[in-house]
Amino acid sequence: MPIETAVPTDHPLMQAWAAYTGTDEAHNSMSWAAKGGPHSTGSMWAAFEAGWRAAANKCAELATIESNKPYPLNESTAKTEGG
């Protein structure tokens, strides 16, 4: 049975969602989705895609930050690297 838990507000996904919901694009998508009809599916897709894009960008940003950290040098690596 799946377990649903809330995503913490400081999580990058929630930060991206909060930023998105403040945009004109989000307000437009939510407005069309609330009306129902033929445009609701496209509006919900637009919201999903924007969230996916924001999350992917945040992952890329975090990966870049992580890859730019200095290599941890300790006794065992110092010996193998000629130190």
**pLDDT for 79:** 53
**pLDDT for 6:** 86
Q: What is the DSSP string of 6-65?
A: PPPTTSHHHHHHHHHHTSHHHHHHHHHHHH-GGGHHHHHHHHHHHHHHHHHHHHHHHHHH
**Residue 81 or residue 8, greater confidence:** 8
Q: What is the pTM of this model?
A: 0.53
Segment 19-67, tens digit of pLDDT: 888 889 888 888 888 888 877 888 888 888 887 888 788 878 877 776 7
**pLDDT for 24:** 92
